[in-house]
A and B are shown apart, each in its own frame.
Chain A
Amino acid sequence: MERIGIFGGTFDPIHIGHLIAAQSLLEIRKLDKIIFIPCYISPHKHQAQNSNPVHRLEILKLSLQYQKQFSYSEIELNRKDISFTIDTVRELKKQFDYIELIIGFDNLIVFDSWKEPDELFRLTNVVVMKRIIDKEIEYKHKYFEMATIIQTPYVELSSTYIRERVRLNMPIDFMVTHAAKEYILKNNLYR
Chain B
Amino acid sequence: MLNSTNVFFVLPDPVYNQEQCQIYPNFTKADSSFLYVTLLENMYEIFSVLFPKVDLFVCLNEKDEEILSLKTSSPFLSDNLFYFNEDTFTNEFVSIFDKRKAGVKNFIFVHPDFVGLTEADILQMLDLLLLEDDVLLLKKTLHKKIVLFATNKFQNEIPRLMHKKNFVCDSALKKLCALDYQFYKLKNVFSLAHANDFKELYKMLSRKENYACCSKKMHDRFTHLFIEYKELL
Q: Which A residues fall within an 8 A CB radius of B?
A: 42, 44-45, 47-49, 106, 109-110, 112-113, 133-135, 137-139, 141, 158, 160
Contacts and interface: CB of A to CB of B under 8 A. Distances in A.
Contacts, number: 52
Contact of A109 (B128, B132, B183): B128
Interface in B114-169: 120, 123-124, 126-128, 130-135
Contacts of A45: 177, 183
A135 B130 contact: yes
Contacts of B120: 139, 141
Given A44-B173, A48-B177, A139-B120, A106 B130 contact: no
B133 A48 contact: no
B180 A106 contact: no
Nearest to A45: B177
Given A44-B174, A112-B187, A133 B124 contact: no
B229 interface: no
A10 B127 CA distance: 22
A190 B177 CA distance: 17
Given A134-B131, A135-B130, A158-B133, A109 B124 contact: yes
B126 A138 contact: yes
B72 to A, nearest CB: 36
B194 interface: no
Given A137-B127, A138-B123, A110 B179 contact: no
B186 A48 contact: no
